[in-house]
Amino acid sequence: MQFGGYSGQAYSPAGDKGRFVLPPIFRKALKESSDGRVLCLMKHTSWNCLVGFGLSRKEELNAQLDREEELAVRLGKEFDRDTRASQLFGFLEMPFDDSGRFVMPEHLRALGKIEDGLYFQGGGRFFTLWNPAELAKMGDDWAGAKAACESFLADAKAKGK
Please, which residues have CB within 8 angstroms of residue 35's CB and are 6 or more apart in sequence? Answer: 55, 56
pLDDT of residue 143: 96
Q: What pTM, to 2 d.p., does this model score?
A: 0.88
Percent above pLDDT 70 for the chain: 98
Q: Are 120 and 13 in contact (CB under 8 A)?
A: no
> Confidence band (pLDDT; 50, 70, 90) for 157?
confident
User: Domains in the chain, please, with CATH?
Assistant: 9-160 (3.40.1550.20)
Mean pLDDT, residues 100-128 taken together: 92
In the predicted model, is pLDDT for residue 146 greater than 90?
A: yes
Query: b/e string for 112-135 if b means 16 or more Cβ within 10 A?
Result: bebeebbbbbbbeebbbbbbbebb
pLDDT digits (tens, 9 = 90+) for 92-101: 999 999 999 9
Measured distance CA(19)–CA(36) in Å, rounded: 19
In the predicted model, is pLDDT for residue 1 greater than 60?
A: no
Q: Are 60 and 158 in contact (CB under 8 A)?
A: no
List, as one string, the DSSP characters of 77-114: ----HHHHHHHHT--EEEE--TT-EEEPPHHHHHHTT-
pLDDT of residue 101: 93
| Count of all residues that appear for the chain in the document | 161
In the predicted model, is pLDDT for residue 15 greater than 90?
A: no
In the predicted model, is pLDDT for residue 2 greater than 70?
A: no
> Confidence band (pLDDT; 50, 70, 90) for 102?
very high
Mean pLDDT, residues 20-24 taken together: 93
In the predicted model, what is the mean pLDDT of the chain?
91
pLDDT of residue 73: 93
Q: Are 101 and 43 in contact (CB under 8 A)?
A: no
